[in-house]
Amino acid sequence: MKTAQDLVMQAKAATQEVTLVDAEEAIRQADVLMDVREADEFAAGHLPGAILVPRGLLEFKLSSTPALSGRDLKVVLYCKTSGRAALAAQTMQSMGYLNVSSIAGGFDAWNAAGKAVVKPEQPAFE
């Protein structure tokens, strides 16, 4: 029986992962920067310009959002550490998307490198 880690390793072997050094250029060249974490993770901080499409809803959002339906879109994905993004990239490839990559190390590596992060202000109820 395969473990979650086995599936992630298999997905990483079958998809393109960009290094943290190359991530900013990949994002500049992308049509879409997609955060596949959960809504609470996204709200706590995300990469500038990212849209939220949780991995659990990925196939449904891609199928129902005309702006994301073009199979030739250049998409960069990320999650917390890169496992979910690799699985999402593999799923997108199986759906026919041609230009999908993920960021090695994910949000945690990006944040640890001191790169820009958007942290929406929460309303204060005082």
**pLDDT digit string (tens) for 48-82?**
999 999 999 999 999 999 999 999 999 999 999 99
What pLDDT is attached to residue 60? 96
Task: Using pLDDT thresholds of 50, 70 and 90, give the confidence band for residue 86.
Answer: very high
* Average of per-residue pLDDT across 1-16: 92
Q: Do 97 and 59 touch, CB atoms closer than 8 A?
A: no
pLDDT for the residue numbered 124:
75
4-112 maps to which CATH number? 3.40.250.10
Query: Domain-by-domain residue ranges, the chain?
Result: 4-112
**Percentage of the chain modeled with pLDDT above 90:** 92
pLDDT at residue 69, as a whole number? 92
Tell me which amino acid residue 43 is. Answer: A
Residue pLDDT, tens place only, 117-126: 998 777 777 7
